Structures are given as structure tokens and as C-alpha cells.
Structure 1
């Protein structure tokens, strides 16, 4: 069933687990992610970044929304890392049920202002809103690639931000990275910081990145305050590594229906492991 991010994450918050938000870039990836979520009976957030929106087009998003309506598990369609108010309006027009406004690179007051403006409008239209406070850096072409330094989320600022914006969930910076960690940095979650923020901010918290963070840290984070974890790099690497293997050097290998099934299977091995690690397997029964 199609629903909002808030409807999904409020249950995760109450029952102390994290919902995977899988970034998808084509129909085969989307179809595979829905199928593994249904097989594991796990709630799902389909995340699509503006770059991915431009790649797949509005027409495919219409198909994604249609498929979500008939899913056996709750699905939210989430606009990931919206940078402007205008982008959020596009998300509304396209049929998204959840939006993220990322003002994390702006000064605190400006982040509050744009996040509140988006939240007021989105709530009036029945959409849920994720904000972000702090920066985690990036090894990819979007998100916080412009962040020169990692800025951990300040608990006092988190309280003020949530009170003044009314966001439904908050992405925090506690030691992750978009894409793979640079070689000179050690992946390490600040779990004490997470627990302090969670003790003061009762809405669902979100973890961006995490490709190189140890599973035991992610496991604990998903049970002590993190309720949504974004997954992009890990599933895309698995999907396209298998595609390279299938294609090989044979020019006769060209039909998508002969290439993509093995890629989806490889991707879903990773996706299933994340679903289990986050504690989301079987939790669709709660909705």
C-alpha cells in the first residue's frame, strides 16, 4: 500500500527498528527492491534523488506510485535531498508522499527557515517531511559533496530545529559518509551522541550513508534511535558489478531480460541483509 514516510517511521520509532530507504535509478532496480521487501515482509521507503528523477522521468514515477498502491507492504515514495522549495513542489506534482529538504549546508537560521516553509506546505498537502542538521560529506556527485568538513549534529540545535520547523523526521550526522568512506577516514558511529539526541528529540531519526560502517554499529543504531537508513551505494555496486560480469566481452549479450535478472538477484542479496540488519524484516505486519 502507498503511504507517507511519517506513517511508516512513526511505527518504526515506537517499535525501535529502522526502515531501509533504497535509492533506485531504473525500473529493474525498483521492481527488485519491492519484491525483496514483500518477500521479507518489510516496510519500504523508495528514495529518489533529483538527479535520479531527471534520469528516470516523471512517467516512471507514475508507474512507481501505481505499483506501490498494490504492494503487500507499506511503501512511501520519498524525494531525497531536495535542495529548493521549487523541487519540493515538483515532488508534490509527481506523486511523492514524502520529501526531504536538505538545508544542511546553509547557516542554521536559513536551514530552519526553508525547512519550516517546506514543512508548512507539505503538511497542508498530506506529505511528510525530513529535515537535516549537520553534514557528513560525500564521495558522490550530489547530497553534501560541497561540505568541506564533517559537522556532527549538536543536540541543542536538534531540539531547537525540530521545535521551530515541525519536521516529521530528522537526518543527523553521527559518523557516516555518502558513498564509500575516503581512505584517510575511519568509519565510526558516535553512538553516545545518537543516544543523547534521541533522549531529547522524540521524532524518528535518519541515518544517511553508512556504506563502510561496521554492521554491529549499524545494528545498535537501528535499535537505539535511528528509524530510517538510506541505502544507495551498496545496492548499486552489487547491481552493476553483476552486470559487468554478465556482459563480459560478448557483444551478443544484449537483451535486458537476459542481463538484468542476475543483477537484481545480486542486489537483493545485499538488500535482504540490510533489511535484516535494520530489524525491519517481518515488521510490515505492524501496519
Structure 2
């Protein structure tokens, strides 16, 4: 069932679980993520970053929306970390059902202005909007953009931001980084800050940079009000580590020989995340 992010997160917010948002970069990965979500009977955000859209091509989105329509679980096709209003128009035009506008690196006032404009446009055509307040860290050049140092979300600013923009969900900065954590960097979430933000804004909250954080912290963040968790690096690392193993056999050349074991390795990691977020079986709630 193809649906919007607002529909997915309204149930997650009410029932206190987090919907996984898996970023994919090719159609084989997409099929694998849908398959494991169906096996787990879990709702799903298919996250696609603008760089990933450019990589796979906009025409693939139509095939994804058709697959989502046929799925036994609710799926939103989500434009992840859109940077401009023009990108949001592109997302609407090519079939996304959920968009994220990320103006977190701009001033507070500019972030409000562009997020409000995107929300008004998206709501007019029935799409849901996520925005970001505060900044996520960045570990390497392979990850989505971020800042060298985290700027934590201010709870009072969050109240103003949600009121002024009308966004459906809010990505908050509570201590995560995009990418895989180096050994020199210890993942640590400010759970007290999360609790304060959730108490004050109450709308669904989103955790970006969810790869590599301790499972106990992630589980606690779900209990405290995180309703969507983005996972990109963990599943891609599993996929491509297995691919490196498979390609050790130099006689292989066909994608249908090379990719299936890579997809299975990715599905193992994705399945663990679905369980951790308490999303398993929750598709029955929709």
C-alpha cells in the first residue's frame, strides 16, 4: 500500500514505535528492503537522497511507487534531505509521497521560511513534510551532509519552529552523526534532551544518522518519542561487504549471480533494525 509519511507516523506516534527509513541506491536494494518489510509485516519509508535520485534516475521512481501499491505493508516513498524548494517540486512531480526539506544549516529564520513554503505546497497536493532543526554530525565524505560539530536542537526553538512551519514531523539533533562511526568517536545520545523536545512539541520526531549507535540507546529513544529512524550506512555496508566477498570469484559477471547474496546480507541487518525499532508486526495497525 502506497501512503504518505504523515499516515505512517501518526500511527507510530500513537502506538509508540519507530518506522524504519531505509535509504536505497538501486532497484535490487529496493526490492530487498520491501521484501524484508513484508516478511516482518512492518511499515516502511523508502528513503532516497537527491544524490541517489540522480544515480538511479527519476524514471525508476514510477516502478517503486507501483511496487509500493502492490505491497502488503504501508510504504511511503520519501525524498531525503532535500535542500531547495525546487527539489521539493521535483519530488512532487515524479511521485514521492513524503518529502524532507533540510535547511538546518541556514539561519533559524531562513529555515522556518523555506520549511513553511515547502509545507504549504506539499500539503496542497496531499504530501507530508519533514524538516530538520539543529544539525547532525558527519563522519566522512561518503555520508549525507552534516556539520563538523553537532548543533543540538533547542526545545524552545522546536516549539516555535513547529508552530510557524506546520511540518508533519521534525528531525532533531540529539547526538547522532551521518555515516559510520570511526573508533575515535563514541556514539552517545542526549536522551534527556529528546524527552524535553517530545514533551513540548508532541509531533512525530525523526532520528537521522541512526547507523552505528548502541542498540540500547536506540531502543530507549523509541520509547521516548522517536517515530522514524533513518538507516543508510549500516545496510549499504552489509550489502557491499558481501559483494566484495562474492566478487572474489572472478568467474562471476551476471548481476543475478552477484547481487542475491548481497541483498540477503542487507536484509539481515534491516531485519534487526525493524525489530529494534519495535516495528515488527505493526503493519497490521494500518
For residue 142 of structure 1, report the CA deviation from its aligned partner: 5.6
Residue of structure 1 equivalent to 2:267: 268
Residue of structure 1 equivalent to 2:190: 190
Residue of structure 2 equivalent to 1:34: 34
RMSD across aligned positions (CA): 1.0
**Alpha-carbon distance between aligned partners in 1 of 2:211 and 2:68, rounded to the nearest angstrom:** 26
- Give TM-score, length-normalised by structure 1: 0.97
**Alpha-carbon distance between aligned partners in 2 of 1:209 and 1:171, rounded to the nearest angstrom:** 10
Residue of structure 1 equivalent to 2:3: 3
For residue 141 of structure 1, report the CA deviation from its aligned partner: 4.4
**Alpha-carbon distance between aligned partners in 1 of 2:32 and 2:124, rounded to the nearest angstrom:** 33
Residue of structure 1 equivalent to 2:101: 101
- How big is each residue's C-alpha offset from its partner over 1:142-191, in whole Å with a ceiling of 9 and x where there is no partner? 6334x232100000000000000000000000011000124433211111
User: Are the equivalent residues in 1 in contact too, given 2:144–2:179 (CA < 8 A)?
Assistant: no
Q: Aligned with 1:222: secondary structure?
A: helix
Give 5+ residue unaligned stretches, structure 1. Answer: none
Greater shift in the superposed pair: 250-259 or 169-178: 250-259
Q: Aligned with 1:150: secondary structure?
A: coil
Give 5+ residue unaligned stretches, structure 2. Answer: none
User: Are the equivalent residues in 2 in contact too, given 1:135–1:144 (CA < 8 A)?
Assistant: no
Residue of structure 2 equivalent to 1:12: 12
Q: Say whether residues 1:254 and 2:253 are aligned partners.
A: yes
- How big is each residue's C-alpha offset from its partner over 1:104-160, in whole Å with a ceiling of 9 and x where there is no partner? 000000000000000000000100000000011212446334x23210000000000
**Alpha-carbon distance between aligned partners in 2 of 1:201 and 1:256, rounded to the nearest angstrom:** 47
Q: Aligned with 2:223: secondary structure?
A: coil
**Alpha-carbon distance between aligned partners in 1 of 2:174 and 2:203, rounded to the nearest angstrom:** 17
**Alpha-carbon distance between aligned partners in 2 of 1:24 and 1:223, rounded to the nearest angstrom:** 26
**Alpha-carbon distance between aligned partners in 1 of 2:178 and 2:66, rounded to the nearest angstrom:** 30
User: Are the equivalent residues in 1 in contact too, given 2:46–2:75 (CA < 8 A)?
Assistant: yes
Q: Say whether residues 1:227 and 2:250 are aligned partners.
A: no
User: Are the equivalent residues in 2 in contact too, given 1:77–1:96 (CA < 8 A)?
Assistant: yes
**Alpha-carbon distance between aligned partners in 1 of 2:271 and 2:141, rounded to the nearest angstrom:** 24
Q: Aligned with 1:73: secondary structure?
A: coil
**Alpha-carbon distance between aligned partners in 2 of 1:47 and 1:32, rounded to the nearest angstrom:** 14
- 1:106-255 matches, within 5 Å, as 106-138=106-138, 139-141=140-142, 143-145=144-146, 147-248=147-248, 250-255=249-254
Q: Aligned with 2:189: secondary structure?
A: coil
Residue of structure 1 equivalent to 2:86: 86
User: Are the equivalent residues in 1 in contact too, given 2:143–2:179 (CA < 8 A)?
Assistant: no
- Give TM-score, length-normalised by structure 2: 0.98
- How big is each residue's C-alpha offset from its partner over 1:213-266, in whole Å with a ceiling of 9 and x where there is no partner? 110000111121000000000000000000110110x33211111111100110
**Alpha-carbon distance between aligned partners in 2 of 1:264 and 1:254, rounded to the nearest angstrom:** 16
